[in-house]
Amino acid sequence: MKPQRPLIIHYKKSQLIWAITILILLIGAAGTAGYFFGDKSSKGSQKYIYELEDAVDELSQSQAAKQSAMTALQLTAQIDADALEQTRLQLVDMQGQIYRREQELKLYREMLQDNTQSTGLTVTDIHIEAVGERLFQYDWVAQQKTHEAKTLRVNASIWVVGVQQGETKILPLNEIDADIDDFPIQLKLKYFSINRGLIRLPEGFSPELVRVTLRYPWIEKPQFDKKFVWQVEE
């Protein structure tokens, strides 16, 4: 077996220079390619981040604008609700004033046309209207006819007569009208007194009559005592 000899390749100087140059070019090309693709990737990532930041800013601004709009709408709705309730109360008050003016005009006309010489106390009108479940608005007019035109005190008593659980029951006005504290009711009238209120009837109570009495405080016996049929106006 022959001994192996080391393989020795002889290069010329020019060949070595070309080899080194090619190696440098390859290394430079690799570095340039790496930088180019890396920079491109970095720029792409940075652009994506910028786009995300812009989207977040836009959404934040939109959310803030919507929140502001919702707050404004809530405030407007509250103002509208308050205004609506205030308007409703004003309408109720105006309706009451209109009713009173109509009744006053009607009564003055009747007094001008009344040629009778009779004097005393009377109730000329009772109006009942349903406004809710077992809740009724009532209006009634007490009238005084005297030869002397002066204001006098009058005691008025009102009861609602009906049936509950098969038995007759009489309810005084102060028990079914929360705004009536005194019974009898103290009135002051020169010609007439227009009165209005709300009554709530108890469960199971069926009204049939309304009894009204009027008397001067210095006279024990009523000068007026009459029962009216309970009739709810449509």
Q: How many CA atoms within 13 Å lie on the side-chain side of 99?
A: 19
- Separation of alpha carbons 216 and 153, rounded Å: 7
Closest CA to 119 of 191, 194, 218: 191
Judge if the upstream peptide bond of residue 3 is cis by omega within 30 degrees of 0. no
What pLDDT shows up at residue 86?
Answer: 80
Write down the pTM of the prediction: 0.56
CA Rg, the chain, in Å? 50
Amino acid at 41: S
**E-strand stretches of 51-183:** 120-132, 135-145, 152-164, 167-172
At 14-43, the pLDDT tens digits run: 666 666 777 777 776 666 656 555 555 555
- Name the burial class of residue 210, with classes exposed (0-12), middle (13-18) and buried (19+) by CB atoms within 10 angstroms of its CB: buried
At 197-231, the pLDDT tens digits run: 999 999 999 999 999 999 999 988 999 999 999 99
- Separation of alpha carbons 201 and 164, rounded Å: 11
